[in-house]
Structure 1
């Protein structure tokens, strides 16, 4: 029986080089310089290295824009919200690993005790918000998906009420484009062809140009290489452009 090759985990220095490369590649001139790290966070948390979300936090708080407790609290709210959204597409354990790793680094004065979903309720308002965001991402494609799940209604209910109602349609901390960037990165890093195609298309539908989506995919591929993952099954934005 052959031995399993030893895995050498990437270091914090390796991670910092990755973030520099992503920051340089990301289309910040059109999408804003405050979004690249959301792609990194979501891709890392869906990868084999969720603890390196803490390296994202370390990398950012060393920058001039995060010299105050208030700025670091805002940063962690955004990272935390990205992780919360990732629960709906990845599961709870990896986002927990990531937030525990971040929490170890937080100074007491930087801790943010806000609770984004403290007053969340199921019901008509949640349903309408979830369905509305589903329609924005899927448009006419939603009927085909619903038909495919006609004999598996639990999954369509989860999509409307939980995935979109509870998680993805809440744009109080991360806006629509930011939310879709998180979803795209968190799904693509799992090498899932069908759902990646849906959210390449969805990212285009919320207003991101095809050129920028291609750059974002290249950023996700950088994370995959960092984590020694293959993304050989996923399409590119050019493959779905005719569906937009």
Structure 2
């Protein structure tokens, strides 16, 4: 399948983007039947590559196209995603949290741009006013945040994090602190100490989503070390090796649709991840 570089907004709606999203729904591997991965991958890749203003409205429309109409009565979002009864608002919760998390990987300006574009197209009855990090704002100490961050990091890196942090210790102490306390402890896994039933983070409902997010934002940036680490981390977080391969390939498809060819050229793949990564 050949895609054109998406420079004309009208071509997005009328030609390749609906087809790409339809194919993504079929191809993107998921372990949960109701997984939002099929719309999160295009959302995150297109935002990473600077196309949020063109893609976000179409992605939201596609993600909600097969849902029943939202309730007409507008109610406050429940604190916990598991209690959300409005499927349109649940889509918004996933998209908002994906973009919020991504800002620490791709930069705040692009994530913020995408969030503003999303807010423009979400109808009032699907608006989400939840505050995922409210507890961190009110009661979490720096020590607790560091512990939460380390717990989240360990699900991706396991014992390898010791060597990575040892490499950082002599000259990159600020980066190590930022990775543990901010990247993971605040952005990516702010509630790693909670169960899915008690976490306000919708990503905690599906353990595969963190890896889907990190790969969808790192692969387009062609950062070899991080890509290998997170391919391995995806396996460690429970995604079968073949599904990780399919995810990596689909990210490349979306990159091509954004005008970036050969994003995997010269970059390690899941075949380069040692088999030990699949052991607990």
TM-score (norm 2): 0.79
Aligned partner of 2:158 in structure 1 is 139
Q: Say whether the 8 Å CA contact 1:26–1:36 is kept in structure 2.
A: yes
1:106–1:25 Cα change, 3 Å: same
Identify which of 192, 203, 211 aligns with 1:180: 211
Q: Say whether the 8 Å CA contact 1:12–1:55 is kept in structure 2.
A: yes
Aligned partner of 1:241 in structure 2 is 274
Please give the root-mean-square deviation of Cα atoms over the aligned residues, in Å: 1.9
In the alignment, structure 1 residue 60 sits paired with structure 2 residue 59: no
Worse overlay, 74-83 or 37-46 = 37-46
Deviations 1:20-60 (A, max 9, x none): 111111124x3434222222222121113122123210112
The runs of at least 4 aligned residues of structure 1 exceeding 6 Å deviation read none
Aligned partner of 2:223 in structure 1 is 192
Alpha-carbon distance in structure 2 between the residues aligned to 1:53 and 1:234: 28
Aligned partner of 1:158 in structure 2 is 178
Identify which of 190, 200, 205 aligns with 2:236: 205
SS of the residue aligned with 1:59? helix
**Shift, 1:77, TM fit:** 0.6
TM-score (norm 1): 0.90
SS of the residue aligned with 2:88? helix
In the alignment, structure 2 segments of 5+ residues that lack a partner are 72-85, 192-200
**Shift, 1:148, TM fit:** 1.9
Deviations 1:42-93 (A, max 9, x none): 2121113122123210112221x25224211111011100001101111111
Aligned partner of 2:50 in structure 1 is 48
1:98–1:143 Cα change, 3 Å: same
Identify which of 142, 150, 168 aligns with 2:188: 168
In the alignment, structure 1 segments of 5+ residues that lack a partner are 1-5
Aligned partner of 1:18 in structure 2 is 20
